[in-house]
Structure 1
């Protein structure tokens, strides 16, 4: 069976076993660890190893994957000119999504940001997290199926942090506040979500008031969870609907004033601390009219 791809990196951690590296540090799923071990597809400094072998800091690690490890997946390529890259390496890519563009397509022939990013990268990419169509900002994509579950587990463990700017209506907010209202599906409108503290899913949003305007406020939102429409629902439920929200603001005007401006994580393959920020011209233009 032909090889599909290899992953190579220098071990960024202190001395540990191969098992600890793959299981505890890289968070590789059990099924894939089994394949790597039985096929002897882990090399340390280009040498085959025992599963309990030690890996020193700085050792060259090579992981080899077959087609049956990760079946090939193809995607319809979009327009690479529509991509605003912020960071890219062999493992993942972070881009700045404009408002009005879906993160991924819902129909086979539909083109969305994922299709455009795949065209830009010249290969099939994978969504790690999504933004609503109306929201702009930073989105993370995996560039191979090996790194995808690692990034997904980092997201679950809150090792990937996402920060948003939102321009909201309503009375003056405290300097900081945390919303913990549970979120569930709207029973009569499948597009919407509602606060449902009895049957909903846990949702935690941390807010910081950044600036107060004559009629509105700019807030920073940081997520502990990633429920659909989480920020939009929490703010509207607590009487601070986001300006321009077509679903949750009683009088929406202009674009949804929600922008994912910052994303931070520790690179799982290098241990490097990474932090990225991106602006939105349309968000800034609307903000400048508030003074």
Structure 2
């Protein structure tokens, strides 16, 4: 495929994302990394400029599965995703992530949350932390590499407080509100929890991560026979309902301002399928 650039654009990846409106940004960046895209017969980086009359050659045949599903491009979905922006300023935005959407692109991901908001806002976004595809709730995207560096440091120094709301099938049989166990690689996982109440034979907890391992909350609770409700990965109780794990609170200081994002408890519970 050959594309002739019609106007100047500061980044070739964003230009292609605009022109190839049904191809996710994650795939475009992957093709650029693998040198499947050239600019005027030369190798090109995602951050390189695309100037008027430049010729872009894409040495890749797009497949049906590569394309963004039409339903993702509907006005209804765009409005839904825009309404999920809890807050934004010049540095970052806070999004209430829906369940079953991957945060970042990958080989099996048609469109990621990052792709969606880069499309809607027409800006480059940077990830500074992740939550599972099945998990819903608050997540941070930042708008520059400099801010990404700042937030990565805040996470590394544990200066960002993040609380989850978890609904389990069984009551956690621990009296000290502290849980410590190891994953299959022998790495220690630690969290704190607080019981809130019981709803329809399920148990509701606040959860605070002390360490940050992959699938940590889901894995730790399953290891003590208190799996999260509707967890098809770590529970034998398989169903199609949404996972009952929600990132419901984020708080931190940035540029001498304290930010505290927290969704109402009752509103959060309504998002779950019991």
Name the TM-score, length of structure 2 as normaliser: 0.66
Aligned in 2, Cα 1:208/1:264: closer, same or farther, shift over 3 Å?
same
Question: 1:130 aligns to what SS in structure 2?
Answer: coil
Deviates more, 1:166-175 or 1:93-102: 166-175
CA distance, structure 2, for counterparts of residue 172 and residue 207 of structure 1: 9
Matched, 1:266 2:253: yes
- Give the corresponding residue for 1:276: 261
Residues 67-82 of structure 1 aligned to structure 2 (within 5 Å): 72=47, 80-81=78-79, 82=81
The answer for unaligned runs of 5 or more in structure 1 is 5-70, 183-194
Q: Could you tell me how far apart the structure 2 residues matched to 1:145 and 1:108 are?
A: 26
Corresponding residue for 1:135?
A: 135
In structure 2, what is the Cα distance between the partners aligned to 1:126 and 1:219? Answer: 30
Q: Aligned to 1:210, which of 175, 180, 196?
A: 196
TM-score, normalised to structure 1, is 0.62
- 1:115 is displaced (CA, Å) by 0.9
Q: CA offsets, 1:32-88, max 9 Å, x none?
A: xxxxxxxxxxxxxxxxxxxxxxxxxxxxxxxxxxxxxxx8389x9985542410111
Deviation digits for residues 207-232 of structure 1, max 9, x if unmatched? 11111245220011111222110000
Alpha-carbon distance change, 238 to 86 in structure 1, aligned in 2, over 3 angstroms: same
Q: 1:176 to 1:209 in 2, by over 3 A?
A: farther
Q: Which residue of 2 aligns with 1:156?
A: 156
- Distance verdict in 2 for CA 1:259–1:176, change over 3 Å: farther
Unaligned runs of 5+ in 2: 1-9, 11-45, 50-66
Larger relative contact order (Cα-Cα within 8 Å, sequence gap ≥ 6): 1
Aligned length: 203
Is the contact between residue 91 and residue 143 of structure 1 (CA under 8 Å) also seen in structure 2?
Answer: yes
- Aligned equivalents of 2:104 and 2:272: distance in 1? 26
Any conservation in 2 of the 1:176–1:209 contact (CA below 8 Å)?
A: no
The 10-residue stretch of structure 1 (144-153 or 108-117) with the greater mean CA deviation from structure 2 = 108-117
Q: Secondary structure at the match of 1:94?
A: strand
Specify the alignment match of 1:120 in structure 2: 120
Q: CA RMSD in A?
A: 2.9
Determine if contact 2:164/2:249 at 8 Å carries over to the other structure.
yes
| C-alpha distance in structure 2 between counterparts of 1:210 and 1:173, whole Å | 14
CA shift digits 1:180-219 (9 cap, x unpaired): 223xxxxxxxxxxxx23xx433322111111124522001
